[in-house]
Amino acid sequence: MVIKKQHAILLQKLLKDEENKLPYTALEEVDELVARELELMGLVRFSAPLQLTLTYVGRDLANLLRELYEIGPQPFAEKEEEVKGNIVIREVRGLNPPEAWDDDFRFLGSEIIAMLESADLAGRVGPEGVDPLMVRGLASRVYDRERKKEYVTLTKQGKIALEIYRNAEPNLEIDASLADLIRRLPLGPAESSRLVALDHEKHLLEGMRLIAYSVPKSEIFAFTALGQAVKRALTLGGFGEGVVLSRDILISLAEYLDTEKLPESAITILQSLGYLGPSGELLPAGEFAMEAFRLLKDRPQGLAVAFDLEKDEVDVLKAIKDLWEKAKSNPEERPTFENLKKEMIKRKSAEYKIMKEKYGEKFEEIIEEYRDIARNFFYATDLNAWYVENFDLRAFLHSLESFQLIRSEKDEKGKEVFTLTEFGRKVLEDEAEQVSAPAVKAITTPRKAFAAPNLEWYNLALKEGLVGTGGPSRRGNLYADLAEKVYRLPFLTKYEYMVFSVIPEKGITLSEIYELLKDEFPAWKIRFAINKLEARRLIEVLPDGNVVETEAGKLLDQALLSVPKGAGFPVTPIVVRVLQALKNVGTLYVKEQKVRILPRNVAEAKRISGLSDETFAEALQVARLFGYVGYNNLTDTGMILLEAVEKMNTPVTTRYVEEIY
């Protein structure tokens, strides 16, 4: 949806004609291209080929705009002493009539919709949305007398605008010329300067929700989930004259696939466009066309999933791989915890020795994350003690397992060893040093719905090699795919839990999190924790700077209430594997909603878990200490934790692109 000057003027005319009891507005009285754009947005309809009327949502939008014109652009505030309620408006405004708008002013657009949706989800407007929404009359600055807090929230008009967007039924109609443009354009995310098209064509693409622009200033564009499906369908098919892809064509294709009953002429059209083969079989272009139909009809929403991998974790992955290579000639070299520790001491010592030779005692020239470690290495006399004090190998291993990159297993001698998963091997083949959650979201956000990544995420993705000038790189496709496919297990370090604990269900911004924790941790460490929390699907950082807990995060919050303060790892993948195994062998008592485990079944749970005897026993002891397991049952807390795991792995509703990487 996109509303600019000419759209607002036409909506105003249609509303006036309707109020004057005219049955329709003649097409010859208006700009036909603008009318066509509004039709595809679902705001107007042609009651006859040359006759225009407002749809229900179009009428709502026209009335909303009129209300904002009547308020006017001058800001005003309520007098606190005259307000009886708790909320006092300190600043709000309306709009100038559309004739006074700049030609490039966008009252609504994908970037404004993203700000509205973020504010609705978070219960307040985020930093990036304050100025854009307030200047449009869609947000107001208010003071909460009870909480003694000022913030910006959506106005009644802002909430109505969002409802209009959600209720509108955009159309889909692409002719041969527009199809050629879609084929030529980069997939995105890419700089908006790469969107080389006429304004009318841009409005059509955005109006049909095939492309979206970034928050806050539309610097980046990308094809949305629907747009990506359409683009792929038209890359493989849709070659012809006239309309080559439309809602009607998709309905015909769906009807044929459901019933195989369709007039011969309709089947011929689908075959000529490359959606069906000579024998009526569904071709690849038709598969993507049907995905477009699903997205058009169901409009699924979801998280913009992320993935996060730090350099130290990559180093541990490499060490595991190399130790397995050594174990081919000497089985004693297998990657047990102790062998890994020895290997990592050797590798990290060599790495920091190079740093010592390069910088000497000029510690201020070293990146902040490594500065203290380098200083400690410079004066270290015991490398084993230096490694233990500055690195947490067990935390790295838990983190890698939480993203299904490695797995703790039992070898034939009953010892704990660490194996690479298929995903772990793919990460090593890629040879990335580091991949951050925001950079991955630059690719996954457009797949979410009508959204594009914000500029900061895009720039990070460029820096980390996840996107090129026109869209995702091979590396970007890999990590976006991992973000959508890996089976996540919860893991929190002590300090990650401290960061997680200051994040409420909604109503906090990134800058506020940093402010709350600035005396506890350096900024880079807070950023590290936020990235991990988001990659594990416990929180979502919204494009406008708001942060909210996910459904999984809310459940994990509940589960962690029983964990003793100061616990090193409040939850680990190993503990969760034990809980899952116990649930598997236990008996569910439906009335009580409890899972009880007979003592004789614990051995079977141990086998199912795949853990060594020692690892299983230690994890079971921790699970009891933390209140996840009782004497012979999974506690309510343990069940809530397992429910959180399910929510962490809710299937992504718009994943369909199988890229080669």
Which contacts of 527-532 are long-range, i.e. CB under 8 A and separated by 24 or more positions?
528/310, 529/495, 529/496, 529/499, 529/500, 530/437, 530/499, 531/306, 531/308, 531/436, 531/437, 531/438, 532/308, 532/399, 532/437, 532/496
Q: Does residue 142 come out as left (phi exceeding 0), alpha (psi in the -120 to 50 range) or beta?
A: beta
Closest alpha carbon to 218 in 206, 207, 226, 228? 206
Which part of the chain has CATH 1.10.10? Answer: 494-648
pLDDT tens digit sequence for 327-342: 999 999 999 999 999 9
pLDDT tens digit sequence for 49-83: 899 999 999 999 999 999 999 999 999 999 888 88
Positive or negative torsion for Cα 270, 273, 276, 278: positive
Q: State residue 632's pLDDT score.
A: 87
pLDDT above 70 for 591: no
- Strand extents, DSSP E, 271-429: 406-410, 416-420
Question: What is the CB neighbour count within 10 angstroms for residue 592?
Answer: 9
Give 645's contacts (C-beta < 8 A, 6+ positions apart): 488, 489, 490, 552, 576, 580
CA of 587: how far to CAs of 594, 595, 597, in Å? 8, 5, 7
Task: Specify the pTM.
Answer: 0.94
Q: To 10 degrees, what angle do helices 156-167 and 56-71 make?
A: 160
Find which of 80-89, 315-324, 351-360 is predicted with most confidence, using mean pLDDT: 315-324
> What DSSP character marks residue 629?
B
List the 220-223 sheet strands across, edge first. 190-191, 220-223, 211-213
pLDDT tens digit sequence for 150-202: 999 999 999 999 999 999 999 999 999 999 999 999 999 999 999 999 999 99
Positive or negative torsion for Cα 543, 544, 547, 553: negative
Compute the chain's Rg from CA coordinates: 29
Closest alpha carbon to 481 in 397, 404, 396? 404
Whether the CB-CB separation of 391 and 348 falls below 8 Å is answered with yes
CATH topology for 494-648? Arc Repressor Mutant, subunit A (1.10.10)
Burial of 257 (0-12, 13-18, 19+ CB in 10 A): middle
Whether the CB-CB separation of 174 and 234 falls below 8 Å is answered with yes
Terminal C-alpha separation, the chain: 34
The alpha-helical segments, DSSP class H, found in 360-449 are 368-378, 383-390, 393-402, 422-430, 437-448
Rounded to 5°, angle at Cα 391 from 503 and 352: 125
Q: What share of the chain in percent tops pLDDT 70?
A: 98
Q: What share of the chain in percent tops pLDDT 90?
A: 83
Q: To 10 degrees, what angle do helices 422-430 and 311-327 make?
A: 110
Q: State residue 651's pLDDT score.
A: 81
pLDDT tens digit sequence for 181-190: 999 999 999 9
Whether the CB-CB separation of 585 and 604 falls below 8 Å is answered with yes
Positive or negative torsion for Cα 106, 111, 117, 119: negative
Which residue type sits at 332?
E
Residue labelled with tokens 């009526």:
280
Average pLDDT over residues 479-497: 96
pLDDT above 60 for 590: no
